[in-house]
Amino acid sequence: MTLGHYTKTSYKLSKKLTTAYSTSFSWGIKVFKPEYRDPIFAIYGFVRIADEIVDTFHSHDKEQLLNKFIDDTWEAINIGISTNPVLHSFQKVVNEYKIDRKLISAFLESMEMDLTGSSYNRENYDKYIYGSAEVVGLMCLKVFVDGDEKKYKELEHSARMLGAAFQKVNFLRDIQSDINDRGRIYLPGVHHIDYIDDHNKAMLEKEVEAEFKEAFHGIIHLPIAVKLGVYSAYLYYLMLFKKIKRLNVEQLKRKRVRISNLYKFYLLIKSYFEVKVLKTT
């Protein structure tokens, strides 16, 4: 077997990992033009492993596992291969699309913050959002523009805002599990469960609304090959956000807001027709 066969298999495993954890993102990626799918699955596969280490490996030494993952990540990028298939596919994307290593460092630093931080002041909260979400959007943008630095700079802010909006919607949706399963509070400046109320929920929602607006301005200028996929994810999170806004904090502590697979499919079809009237590039 050739290295090419191993690389193809690595991409398939990253795709399988992403699909197993997120049907909404997977559906969006699958409607990209074929040449964009494997690289984005590789990025999300990498992100998923890091998230799992800090979020679910409770009976193991998370710090040791994360440190090894970080070392293995840099080694894979530096030598251009890894025996970890997900890291192998990720390093291919990093090296091929010249993804800035500062983006990867920021992401890994946010994962380290999850090992010790249970709540954040405003400064650290913004740092965490940047590293855990905004840079993921920027990594994907590197793939979307395929070396066009002018286009990258034009869309950089919107890509960051989309990542931030998605992450904060996740925080609002997962208030219950973040508190009960992970002992974390992802509301800026809130350091105890008793201080989570509808006021600070509403403050975060205002941020999300502004970020969605900023993100939309970038989506309409994305290459047509990926616009449908990104826009469908945008609509999914926007609908999730609208459902969350109708609930108060106490309700969110008792149940996790969901969108059915049938409705996700409806949103994908809706995206197909609406994206046709968005300004194309």
Tokens of 215: 């993100």
**Residue 2: per-residue pLDDT:** 66
**Residue 129: per-residue pLDDT:** 97
Nearest to 136 by CA among 107, 113, 111, 110: 107
Kindly state the helix (H) or strand (E) to which residue 94 belongs, with its residue range. Answer: helix 85-96
All structural domains of the chain, each given as residue ranges with its CATH number in brackets, are: 3-277 (1.10.600.10)
**Residue 281: per-residue pLDDT:** 45
61-110 pLDDT, tens digit each: 999 999 999 999 999 999 999 999 999 999 999 999 999 999 999 999 99
**Residue 117: per-residue pLDDT:** 79
53 in Cβ contact with 129 (< 8 Å): no
Kindly tell me the burial class for residue 51, based on how many C-beta atoms sit within 10 Å of its own C-beta (0-12, 13-18, 19 or more). middle
**Residue 17: per-residue pLDDT:** 95
Q: What is the pTM of this model?
A: 0.93
What's the CA gap between 4 and 119, in Å, rounded?
44
**Residue 279: per-residue pLDDT:** 62
53 in Cβ contact with 69 (< 8 Å): yes
Positions of E strands within 107-181: none
User: Which residue positions in the chain have pLDDT lower than 70?
Assistant: 1-2, 279-281
**Residue 183: per-residue pLDDT:** 85
Tokens of 265: 């499919």
Residue 217, CA distances (Å) to 148, 155, 161, 223, 234 in order: 18, 9, 10, 13, 12
Nearest to 134 by CA among 152, 118, 157: 157
Q: Which amino acid is at 172?
A: L
**Residue 191: per-residue pLDDT:** 83
Tokens of 207: 């941020």
